[in-house]
């Protein structure tokens, strides 16, 4: 018998000077009931407590840690039931943020490289090299299989390079230039003019950064790092979140701070008409992984 049950029996009245007599059978029944309640309450509470685990891969959400607490951003596709579950799971343990629009990878629009086979058009992120071999880094979702050719024109008649390596987990890809006639400056097009890129660097929260692409040259700040993003077609790790808008057609493009390359555009939610957020793969991770860098 449990200690709590025994304690109940010990507190029950016995024969006293006033003539009160203990009914031991009743006492044992009461003690058993107390023990049952003591066992059931923790189990019931545990079953009722929401868990974040079930929502970790929920499409339309992005996850990161801020000051030791979990932050989850949910886009417009996350329904009321899932939102309620997230709020319950995060109670006293984190924060839920609502983002406008739909979280998606960005592809399409007037971009400077193309791929045959329906992969659309994207941006070169950063030119880089290893020794005397030249490459560029872009988003993995912008290209097809390794050894596939990318082109300088929409008609896919001017070869630009060959897909060398892809890293779906972090949404980056390395393209080796095969076209020797096209200039390959270690710089970012800022329409007009070029901004030189001399190194890759890791961002800090609050850092001022700039993104360049068909939706314009736009600046803002880094709001989170090491973010996990659940796109509708898969999860990407280690992304950088900013309050800069981005749109389809911006994928693969550069995020930079002065002469330092920071990230490669992966996706976002909202638009540049209504406002939104954007996510970037780490340029440092890509450069280190591929063994390449600016020049």
Apex 15 CA angle, 10 and 17, nearest 5: 125
The residue from 212, 215, 251, 278 that is catalytic is 251
Strands (E), 183-215: 187-189, 194-196, 199-200, 208-213
The residue from 99, 111, 139, 141 that is catalytic is 141
Place of tokens 């390596």: 165
d(CA 5, CA 12): 11
At a CB cut-off of 8 Å and minimum separation 6, what does 15 contact? 21, 22
Q: Are 201 and 182 in contact (CB under 8 A)?
A: no
Quick count: other Cβ atoms within 10 Å of Cβ 108?
A: 14
Pairing label, strands 194-196, 199-200: unpaired
Answer yes or no: 4 catalytic. Answer: no
Quick count: other Cβ atoms within 10 Å of Cβ 278?
A: 30
Answer yes or no: 141 catalytic. Answer: yes
Angle between helical axes of 24-48 and 3-11 (0-180°, round to 10): 140
Answer yes or no: 139 catalytic. Answer: no
d(CA 131, CA 217): 31
The residue from 99, 111, 171, 250 that is catalytic is 171
Question: Catalytic site residues?
Answer: 141, 171, 251
């Amino acid at each position: 018998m449990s200690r709590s049950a025994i304690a109940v029996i010990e507190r029950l009245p016995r024969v006293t000077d006033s003539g009160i007599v203990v009914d031991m059978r009743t006492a044992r029944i009461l003690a058993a009931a107390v023990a049952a309640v003591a066992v059931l309450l923790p189990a019931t509470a545990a079953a009722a407590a929401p868990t974040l685990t079930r929502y970790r891969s929920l499409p339309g959400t992005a996850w990161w840690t801020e000051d030791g607490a979990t932050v989850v951003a949910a886009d417009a596709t996350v329904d009321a039931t899932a939102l309620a579950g997230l709020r319950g799971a995060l109670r006293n343990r984190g924060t839920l943020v609502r983002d406008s629009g739909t979280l998606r990878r960005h592809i399409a629009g007037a971009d400077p490289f193309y791929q045959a086979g329906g992969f659309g058009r994207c941006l070169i992120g950063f030119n880089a090299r290893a020794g005397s071999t030249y490459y560029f880094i872009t988003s993995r979702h912008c290209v097809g299989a390794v050894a596939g050719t990318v082109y300088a024109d929409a008609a896919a008649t001017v070869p630009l390079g060959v897909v060398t390596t892809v890293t779906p987990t972090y949404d980056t890809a390395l393209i080796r230039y095969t076209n020797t006639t096209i200039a390959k400056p270690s710089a970012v097009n800022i329409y007009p003019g070029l901004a030189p890129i001399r190194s890759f660097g890791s961002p800090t929260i609050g850092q001022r950064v700039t993104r360049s692409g068909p939706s314009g040259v736009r600046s803002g700040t880094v709001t989170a790092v090491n973010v996990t993003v659940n796109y509708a077609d898969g999860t990407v790790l280690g992304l950088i979140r900013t309050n800069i808008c981005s749109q389809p057609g911006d994928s693969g493009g550069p995020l930079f701070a002065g002469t330092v390359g920071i990230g490669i555009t992966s996706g976002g939610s909202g638009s540049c008409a209504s406002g939104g957020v954007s996510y970037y793969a780490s340029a440092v991770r890509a450069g280190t992984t591929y063994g390449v860098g600016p020049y």
